[in-house]
């Protein structure tokens, strides 16, 4: 008799973005003429850089002849791409080696799967609000109880990120074992400083905890004083895993390519340095056959000098969108955060409105979709996220509608 994984029953709602898509479809069905503008999910919209297109084409062509055809590759990723990713980090001043790099089909799967190399009785700390995958993957793994009336899953440690602490948490007062940090942050758009990250690295070293650092938006940082990788921080190689992606910086949300760095020195409380790197190798060798060889050629092209120059221009385009959104909201007297080193603008809802109520208001009055802060955790209540990904004309139209049609 087959029995289900009961942990799935503890999940209280559907995954956030399909839920938003469902409500949007419902509204579209009721309002057939509405031209809905989507600033909800952080999904890239601009065409791939020409250098990437040519890299992808080259790999397709190599599959057309016996001499250059390739089949299964290493599940850790192609050696040349692992080396190019390591070199990309070294250029930032971060100590990363090719052997630390595990190429994947994106940061979502890695950030959901990485918890599987840690014992189920580890105490997990998450920023609140946070990218929902960190919490949901730990619920599914059986590390939590049910959600309580404060909107928190029992057994997880929620680290509030609020306007009062600049959206970066204080160090946990209790001993925690696994700590998720996302910087530039989804959803608040804020970036951790070197000092803030050093505080967490020092905590992790003291308590033999492990930091899971999601840097999917690192390329959106323009302020040179802000760290783009946890490995720019002294001591991070022994206590941190970093997850990153080509999705947002190179427009690969549909192409699919990312990576995880598990350094050789990384250690757990009850293991030797190197053991976690071996375990992640074993995990990937067993569960994954590597990303598509075509897509890896695209990734390699994205990291070439020409590819980088072209993709960073597209990043600038999205950041100009962010500026337009910030301008609009601020001109209406709304309180905003983020949007200068991250492609998300985080705003306080007007008059303390609930964030799902504001979602409905924006959709009904302006036909604009955003993401309610509460979808990212209880401390997101009273806030709202607008994504800067989108065609310029749609961002301009959305800001005009917000200016002219939002009832105040
Ligand atoms: N990590 C963070 C912090 C993210 O915000 C996202 C995407 C990912 C990882 C996923 O990266 P991939 O490499 O493409 O897998 N966040 C988007 C999309 C939502 C989703 O469900 O992934 C967002 O709107 O928050």
> For 170-187, what is each residue's pLDDT tens digit?
999 999 999 999 999 999
Record the tokens describing residue 347, joined without a space: 């705003």
- Residues of the chain with pLDDT > 90, as a percent, come to 98
Closest CA to 103 of 289, 309, 264: 289
Question: Which domains can be identified in the chain, with CATH numbers?
Answer: 12-47+307-405 (3.90.1150.10), 52-303 (3.40.640.10)
Please report which confidence band the pLDDT of residue 15 belongs to, taking 50, 70 and 90 as the band edges.
confident
Question: Does residue 317 have its Cβ closer than 6 Å to ligand 1?
Answer: no
- In the reported structure, the alpha carbon of residue 347 is separated from the centroid of ligand 1 by a whole-number distance in angstroms of 20
- pLDDT category, 42, cuts 50, 70, 90? very high
Atom of ligand 1 nearest to the CA of 107: 13
Nearest C-alpha to atom 5 of ligand 1 is from which residue?
Answer: 186
Query: What mean pLDDT is predicted for residues 227-232?
Result: 98
How high is the mean pLDDT of the chain?
97
pLDDT band at 245 (very low <50, low <70, confident <90, very high): very high
For residue 13, what pLDDT is reported? 79
- What pLDDT digit, counting tens, does each position of 341-374 carry? 999 999 999 999 999 999 999 999 999 999 999 9
Please give the distance, rounded to the nearest whole angstrom, from the Cα atom of residue 18 to the centre of ligand 1.
Answer: 13
Structure confidence by residue, pLDDT tens digits, 97-121: 999 999 999 999 999 999 999 999 9
41: Cβ below 6 Å to ligand 1? Answer: yes
Q: Can you say how many angstroms the Cα of residue 355 is from the centroid of all Cα atoms in its chain?
A: 21
The closest alpha carbon to 345, from 336, 335, 334, 356, belongs to 336
Judge whether 102 and 96 are in contact, CB under 8 Å.
Answer: no
E strands, 1-118, in order: 37-38, 101-104
- Residue 108 Cα to ligand 1 midpoint, Å, equals 6
Nearest atom (ligand 1) to Cα of 253: 14
Place of tokens 């080696």: 97
* Predicted pLDDT at 82: 98
Give the model's pLDDT for residue 164. Answer: 95
114 pocket-lining for ligand 1 (C-beta < 6 Å): no
Ligand 1 pocket, 244 CB below 6 A?
Answer: no
pLDDT of 408 higher than 90: no
């Amino acid at each position: 008799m087959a029995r289900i994984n009961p942990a799935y029953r503890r999940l209280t709602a559907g995954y956030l973005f399909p839920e938003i898509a469902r409500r949007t479809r419902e509204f579209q069905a009721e309002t057939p003429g509405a031209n809905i503008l989507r600033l909800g999910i952080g999904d890239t919209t601009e065409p791939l850089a020409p250098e990437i297109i040519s890299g992808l084409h080259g790999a397709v062509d190599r599959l057309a002849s016996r001499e250059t055809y390739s089949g299964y590759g290493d599940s850790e990723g192609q050696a040349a791409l692992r080396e190019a990713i390591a070199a990309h980090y070294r250029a930032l001043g971060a100590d990363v080696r090719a052997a630390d790099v595990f190429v994947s089909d994106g940061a979502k799967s890695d950030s959901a799967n990485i918890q599987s190399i840690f014992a189920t009785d580890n105490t997990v700390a998450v920023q609140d609000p946070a990218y929902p995958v960190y919490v949901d993957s730990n619920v599914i793994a059986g590390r939590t109880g049910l959600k309580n009336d404060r909107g928190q899953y029992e057994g997880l440690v929620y680290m509030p990120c609020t306007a009062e602490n600049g959206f970066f948490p204080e160090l946990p007062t209790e001993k925690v074992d696994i700590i998720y940090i996302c910087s530039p942050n989804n959803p608040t758009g804020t970036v951790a400083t070197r000092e803030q990250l050093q505080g967490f690295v020092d905590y992790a070293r003291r308590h033999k905890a492990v930091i899971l650092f999601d840097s999917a938006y690192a390329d959106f940082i323009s302020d040179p004083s802000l760290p783009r990788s946890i490995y720019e921080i002294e001591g991070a190689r022994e206590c941190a895993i970093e997850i990153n992606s080509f999705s947002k910086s190179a427009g690969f949300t549909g192409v699919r390519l990312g990576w995880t760095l598990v350094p050789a020195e990384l250690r757990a409380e009850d293991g030797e340095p190197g053991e976690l790197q071996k375990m992640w190798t074993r995990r990937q060798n067993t569960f994954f056959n590597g990303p598509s060889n075509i897509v890896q050629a695209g990734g390699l092209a994205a990291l070439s000098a020409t590819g980088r120059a072209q993709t960073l221009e597209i990043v600038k385009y999205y950041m100009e969108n962010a500026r337009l959104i910030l301008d609009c909201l601020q001109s209406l007297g709304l309180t905003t955060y983020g949007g200068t080193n991250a492609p998300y603008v985080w705003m306080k809802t007007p008059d303390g409105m609930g964030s799902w109520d504001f979602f409905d208001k924006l959709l009904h009055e302006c036909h604009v979709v955003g993401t309610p802060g509460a979808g990212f955790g209880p401390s997101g209540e009273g806030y709202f996220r607008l994504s800067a990904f989108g065609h310029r004309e749609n961002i301009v139209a959305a800001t005009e509608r917000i200016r002219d049609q939002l009832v105040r």
